[in-house]
A and B are shown apart, each in its own frame.
Chain A
Amino acid sequence: MAGQVAIGSRSGLRSALPLLLPAYLWLTVAIFLPLSAMVFFSFMTELPLSGKAWAFTLDNYTAFFSQGLYLTLLLASLRLGLEVTLWCIVIGYPAAYVLAKVLKGRSREAIFLLVILPFWSNGLVRIFSWAMVLREGGILDTALNAVLPFKINIDLMYSYPAVIIGLVHSYVPYMVLTCYLTLQAIDDSLIEAGRSLGASRLQMLKRVIIPLSMPGLVAGAALIFVPVVGSFMEPRILGGRTGTFYGTVIEDQFVAVFNWPLGAALSFILLAVVLAILALAAPVLRRAA
Chain B
Amino acid sequence: MATTRILEWIGRLYIGLLLAFLYLPIIIMALMSFNASPFYQLPFEWTTEWYASLWQNDQLISATWNSLEIAIITTVISVVLGSAASLALYRYDFPGKKFLQALLFPPIAIPWLITGTAMLIFFFGVGIGRGLFAILLGHVALALPYVIVVVSARLQTFAPELEEAARSLGANQWQVTRRVTLPWIMPGVIAGGLFAFAVSFDQFVVSYFLSTPGQTTLPVEIYAAIRKGFTPEINAVSTIIIVVSMALMLLTARFFKFGGEK
Contacts and interface: CB of A to CB of B under 8 A. Distances in A.
Given A27-B103, A113-B250, A274-B111, A138 B91 contact: no
Given A22-B81, A24-B85, A132-B40, A113 B28 contact: no
Interface stretch (B49-57, B58-66, B135-143, B185-193): B135-143
Interface stretch (A118-126, A148-156, A209-217): A118-126
Contacts of A91: 18, 21
Q: Is the interface of B mostly helix, strand, loop or mixed?
A: helix
Interface in B198-230: 198, 202, 204-205, 208-209, 219, 222-223, 226-227, 230
Could you say which interface size class chain B belongs to? 35 or more
Nearest to B128: A29
A95 B13 CA distance: 10
A99 interface: yes
Given A24-B103, A130-B25, A98 B141 contact: no
Given A227-B111, A247-B113, A117 B92 contact: no
A132 B25 contact: yes
Contacts of B12: 98, 102-103
Interface in A273-289: 274, 278
Contacts of B89: 2, 16, 20
A271 B111 CA distance: 8
Given A91-B18, A112-B258, A121-B245, A30 B119 contact: yes
Nearest to A223: B109
B121 A181 contact: no
B164 A26 contact: no
A25 B41 CA distance: 53
A158 interface: no
Interface string A49-61: 1000000000000
Nearest to B138: A30
Interface string A161-195: 00000000100110011001100110000000000
A144 interface: no
A123 to B, nearest CB: 7
A226 interface: yes
Contact of A109 (B15, B40, B259): B259
A225 to B, nearest CB: 10
B141 A27 contact: yes
Contacts of B29: 125, 128-129, 132
Q: Is the interface of A mostly helix, strand, loop or mixed?
A: helix
Interface string A64-101: 00000000000000000000000000010011011100
A121 B85 contact: no
Contacts of A244: none
B19 A114 contact: yes
B98 to A, nearest CB: 11
A13 B117 contact: no
Interface string B12-24: 1011001101111
A2 B91 contact: yes
Contact of A2 (B14, B23, B84, B93): B93
A226 to B, nearest CB: 6
B94 interface: yes
A103 to B, nearest CB: 8
A23 B248 contact: no
B178 interface: no
B163 interface: yes
Given A24-B100, A169-B21, 10 more contacts: A4-B160, A27-B141, A29-B141, A32-B106, A102-B8, A124-B222, A125-B241, A132-B32, A250-B117, A267-B113
Interface of A: 1-7, 9-10, 12-13, 15-17, 19-20, 22-24, 26-27, 29-35, 37-38, 41, 47-49, 91, 94-95, 97-99, 102-103, 105, 108-109, 111-118, 120-126, 128-133, 137-139, 142, 169, 172-173, 176-177, 180-181, 184-185, 222, 226-227, 229-233, 236-237, 247, 250-251, 254-255, 260, 263-264, 267, 270-271, 274, 278
Closest 3 CB pairs of A and B: A230-B111, A3-B93, A30-B141
